[in-house]
Amino acid sequence: MARSALRGFAAALLLAVLWSAASSAQAQNSPPGNPPDNPPSNPLIPTPGTIGYSVPLTFQQLQRRYVVIQPDYLQPGVPLVILLHPLGTTPEIMANVTRAGRLAAYFGVLVLLPEALNAHQWHDNPAPTGPEVNEPDDVGFVSALIDLAVEDYGVDPRRVYAAGYSNGGFMTERLACELAGRIAAVGVVAATLRAPLAQSCAPSRTVPMALMLGTADPIVPYAGQSNSQSTQQSLSAAQATQFWLGTNNCVPYAVQHPFPTQESDPTSVTLSIYSPCGNGTEVRVYTVGDGGHTWPGASYQGMNDPWFQLLGNTTTLMDATLELWMMFSRRSQWRSPGPPWHFPPWDGQAGGLQNAH
């Protein structure tokens, strides 16, 4: 097996078994916006103050599903965060790794986590979709979810955000290209940019963007990757950054903010903010020195599998979930940036907020 194939298999295998011991029960289906009075136990690690459940959805004659994490009391005009999982994993794994329930519990956010088909792989390549090519229309699926969220959950259509990890990150960039008129801001973790997407991307508006990239990522190399299959070729971090700066009409220089380091953490984090960009947007690039193919601040506790080592270091110097929400919360389709949220104190550990779950 080629080394690149082994790496991909290892990452998918690791993340697929991650959190599998959290619960043996399966999530039960519930109508959109109407979770059961006593939600059943499910594979989600529970977050106090939230309800989580799985919903089936038929889209273009295909059976699909998504996972909902909502606050106990859903307010009208709620913001929506869509989170896209990595290759070979599930929405539940994505929710647990990112501890997405905190967004619902602390900030009243509705979190939707759709599931990919075809071995849980997002169709991030901007090639034809449909039954004739055996490729599901994932862009259309996410767009349909936004419609559903606005109609059934009362989501404010001006405050729809998306973020993804690895394959989900590449897919999030495709959403920024093709659903720019529906998504107010995006976050991309452990993914640079697919070469075919860079050639075809023509967003209808500038989209605020955050990239979080590890310099020692063994799966999506920081320096870029050529592949015999051109659809899988990924650009370097520098090329991806330059692409989004150009697409968003940004100034070519950044203000840099290094994060405080810790003796117990071998990584470093530097935030580069490129602003202003077109229409008051910005591009944020978080460079994780010696960081691996991981979600910054994620909790991978309990993972003793040797495959874990192939993903590299997980920085504890920042919490990607909260960093992204800090950017998202200041953005809407028709609103100028407002003041940032003030988060509860973070203890600086992978576990995240003090006394948080």
User: Is 137 inside any structural domain?
Assistant: yes
Residues 6+ apart with CB under 8 A from 113: 66, 67, 68, 69, 82, 83, 84, 85, 91, 92, 94, 95, 100
pLDDT value at residue 205? 96
- Interstrand relation of 268-274 and 255-258 (parallel, antiparallel or unpaired): antiparallel
Query: Cα–Cα distance between 318 and 212 in angstroms, integer?
Result: 11
Residue in this structure with the two tokens 């082994």, named with its chain if needed: 6
Angle formed by the axes of helices 167-178 and 138-153, to 10°? 80
Q: What is the pLDDT of residues 1-48, one digit of tens each?
A: 344 433 443 445 444 433 333 332 233 333 344 433 333 334 888 899
User: Is 292 inside any structural domain?
Assistant: yes
What number is the average pLDDT over the span 245-261?
97
Sign, CA torsion 5/188/53/322: positive
Q: Is residue 150 predicted with pLDDT exceeding 90?
A: yes
User: Is 350 inside any structural domain?
Assistant: no
User: Is 192 inside any structural domain?
Assistant: yes
pLDDT value at residue 306? 54
User: Is 342 inside any structural domain?
Assistant: no
- Interstrand relation of 110-114 and 185-189 (parallel, antiparallel or unpaired): unpaired
Q: Is residue 333 predicted with pLDDT exceeding 70?
A: no
Q: What is the pLDDT of residues 36-61, one digit of tens each?
A: 333 333 488 889 999 999 999 999 99
> Are the C-beta atoms of 233 and 198 separated by less than 8 Å?
no
pLDDT value at residue 331? 83
Mean residue pLDDT of the chain comes to: 82
CATH number for position 201: 3.40.50.1820
User: Is 243 inside any structural domain?
Assistant: yes
Tell me which residue range forms the domain holding 249.
3-328
Q: What is the pLDDT of residues 191-249, one digit of tens each?
A: 999 999 999 999 999 999 999 999 999 999 999 987 656 667 899 999 999 999 999 99
> Can you give the pTM of this predicted structure?
0.83
The total number of structural domains in the chain stands at: 1
User: Is 18 inside any structural domain?
Assistant: yes
- Write the burial class of residue 29 (CB in 10 Å: 0-12 exposed, 13-18 middle, 19+ buried): exposed
User: Is 341 inside any structural domain?
Assistant: no
